[in-house]
Amino acid sequence: MKLYNQGATPANVTSPVSFAGLIEKIEILRSTLRWSSKLDRPEIEKLLKQATTLRDEVMGLSHKERFVQAATAEPAPQEEVERLPRERRQALMERSFIFEGTFGDNPKLLEALEIAEKAAPTDLPVLIDGESGTGKELMAKVIHANGSRTDKPFISVNCGAIPDSLLESELFGHKKGAFTGASNDRRGKFESAHTGTIFLDEIGELPLTGQVKLLRVLEAHEIQRVGSDEAISVDARIVAATNKDLRRMSQAGTFREDLFYRLSVIHVSLPALRERRDEISLLVSYFSDEAAGMLKRRPVKLTPRLRDFLMHYDYPGNIRELRNLMYRISCLAGDTADVIHLPQDIRPKPTGLLVVASGAQAVPEAVIATSLSEAKRAASDEAERAFLERGLQEVGGTVAELARRFDMNRSHLQMLLKKHGIHSKDFRGNRQAEGGKV
Ligand SMILES: Nc1ncnc2c1ncn2[C@@H]1O[C@H](COP(=O)(O)OP(=O)(O)OP(=O)(O)O)[C@@H](O)[C@H]1O
Ligand SMILES: [Mg+2]
């Protein structure tokens, strides 16, 4: 993300200038203009308009740059195009990119990680947005861990969890006697984060009064404890996160536009899990291993029906929800987990053949299929499962007898039972198994 003096650029631009640096300068100019007391209002408005246009152009350019680079790159053979995401991930790893957790080849996430990697060594403010549970806090830690402040404090503040009356004291500290209950001098989160990073979580919840104070700190790099006149300089790198649309909020007047631009010099957007389904199976095994380690058990096996559910579920709570599901399943299931181990409210309806009330006509249930081919596969899986279960029921759980009856190879039959997580012993009832072992 650098602009170099390459002939076409003006002669006086000799050093590389980053888009982010330019945007930050324009933002500072806009804030200064906005509060100028020496200019007339119409003059301010005119200059602000020009600065806004300039900022939007630079922002547009910074976005375009990636496309231009992609478009001017040597056309890659088809195989390489397909290999590209894996190479991008590999390259991040090779550059010793520090990342707790796991990630695969999803282009949206790779893009977020690459932006984070570039932003990390700078001290520029970063705004991370994404739905709840998409990994915003994890990303903030990634930025901290990959920067020069990694061995300095990482201080997290949940702006949505502090009552308005305590906000200022929490962020900036207070002097003894500043208010009832202030029995000692106390430093705030900003001072604690000095030389490190302050993570302002749920920044969209910050009330307008808090926003004004935060803006002042960002501009002056100094704070005042509540009840004190002394200015204390702080050097804290700002990373903020939100699951709200701050741009829309600033247009609606509930979030200060100048603060929004100040915070979002670098903007990292995290995709919802349903937009990166290609990562689900990776995350399932990651959390299954993690839960197994924590619960001191072997990683749980999943029936195809449960795996299918996990691959297609919508995950309103994103990665956190998937993680919790895997912990729950690992705790409740024996060797193999099935949909029965899912929480009741998200569990798919019982599988098998559904009877449609109106015409008493049997239809296969493919409740979670999202395409025709998936629906067909799910229906065929279900028919196979129901067939095997009914057969086992009839033969009292004796696999050898079932194989004879269906004229099937016994090991193939066993393989099918395994695929569906069906245990023949569950069908034995009071009868002893006759013949073959399972
Ligand atoms: N790529 C990943 N690999 C492994 N675990 C992950 C990954 N991304 C997120 N997580 C895990 O998912 C959970 C939610 O992540 P995190 O708390 O960072 O989300 P968030 O966006 O801050 O959520 P909220 O908006 O609710 O505060 C955490 O347990 C985190 O460790
Ligand atoms: Mg969070």
The verdict on residue 68 lying in a domain is yes
pTM confidence score: 0.68
Distance 151 CA to ligand 1 centre (A): 22
Same domain, yes or no: 264 and 379: no
Residues facing residue 156 across a β-bridge: 199
pLDDT per residue over 193-228, tens digit each? 999 999 999 999 999 989 999 999 988 899 999 999
The verdict on residue 332 lying in a domain is yes
The verdict on residue 83 lying in a domain is no
Of 319, 321, 327, the one to substitute when testing ligand 1's pocket (max ligand atoms within 8 A of C-beta) is 319
The protein residues having their C-beta less than 5 angstroms from ligand 2 (an ion) are 137
Same domain, yes or no: 35 and 5: yes
pLDDT per residue over 249-306, tens digit each? 998 999 999 999 899 889 999 999 999 999 999 999 999 999 999 999 999 999 999 9
Same domain, yes or no: 14 and 126: no
Distance CA 307, CA 303 (A): 6
DSSP H/E element including 93:
helix 78-94
Task: Give the residue from 211, 245, 271 where a domain finishes.
Answer: 271
Q: Span 31-40, mean pLDDT?
A: 75
**Pick from 437, 365, 424: which is nearest to 391 by CA?**
424
Question: Average per-residue pLDDT in the chain?
Answer: 82
Domain, as residue range, for 310 = 274-346
Q: In the structure, which protein residues have their CB atom closer than 6 angstroms to any atom of ligand 1?
A: 101-103, 130, 132-138, 243, 286, 319-320, 323
Same domain, yes or no: 239 and 156: yes
* Strand pairing category for 231-233 and 222-224: antiparallel
Domains contained in the chain, number: 4
The verdict on residue 395 lying in a domain is yes
Distance 297 CA to ligand 1 centre (A): 24
pLDDT per residue over 50-98, tens digit each? 887 887 777 666 555 544 443 344 444 455 445 588 889 988 888 888 8
Same domain, yes or no: 301 and 316: yes
Residue recorded with tokens 């302050």: 198
Backbone dihedral angles phi then psi of residue 304, each to the nearest 5 degrees: -55, -35
The verdict on residue 279 lying in a domain is yes
Give, using CA atoms, the residue closest to atom 28 of ligand 1.
Answer: 320
Give, using CA atoms, the residue closest to atom 5 of ligand 1.
Answer: 101
The verdict on residue 139 lying in a domain is yes
Distance 266 CA to ligand 2 centre (A): 18
| Cβ–Cβ under 8 Å, residues 58 and 19 | yes
Same domain, yes or no: 127 and 39: no
Of 320, 324, 325, 326, the one to substitute when testing ligand 1's pocket (max ligand atoms within 8 A of C-beta) is 320
The verdict on residue 353 lying in a domain is no
Report the pLDDT value the prediction gives residue 419, as an integer from 0 to 100: 81
Of 97, 134, 138, the one to substitute when testing ligand 1's pocket (max ligand atoms within 8 A of C-beta) is 138
Task: Give the residue from 19, 40, 75 where a domain finishes.
Answer: 75
pLDDT per residue over 370-411, tens digit each? 567 767 777 788 788 888 888 888 888 899 999 998 888 888
Same domain, yes or no: 256 and 323: no
* Structure tokens given for 309: 């559910």
pLDDT per residue over 304-338, tens digit each? 999 999 999 999 999 999 999 999 999 999 999 99
Report the pLDDT value the prediction gives residue 3, as an integer from 0 to 100: 35
pLDDT at 36 over 90: no
The verdict on residue 310 lying in a domain is yes
Distance 323 CA to ligand 1 centre (A): 9
Same domain, yes or no: 223 and 199: yes
The atom number, within ligand 1, closest to the CA of 319 reads 12
- Ligand nearest the Cα atom of residue 103: 1
Same domain, yes or no: 147 and 209: yes
CATH number for the domain harbouring residue 337: 1.10.8.60
Based on its alpha-carbon atoms, the radius of gyration of the chain, rounded to whole angstroms, reads 29
Residue recorded with tokens 């945007």: 23
Same domain, yes or no: 216 and 301: no
Task: Give the residue from 205, 238, 271 where a domain finishes.
Answer: 271
**DSSP string computed for 107-154:** HHHHHHHHHHHHHTTS---EEEE-STTSSHHHHHHHHHHTSTTTTS-E
pLDDT per residue over 138-194, tens digit each? 999 999 999 999 999 999 999 999 988 899 999 999 999 888 888 899 999 999 999
Range in 5-9, 110-114, 398-402 with the lowest mean pLDDT: 5-9
* Strand pairing category for 154-158 and 301-302: unpaired
Same domain, yes or no: 131 and 205: yes
- Using CA atoms, how far residue 283 sits from 69, 286, 288, 325, in Å, is 31, 5, 8, 11
The atom number, within ligand 1, closest to the CA of 201 reads 27
Same domain, yes or no: 193 and 260: yes
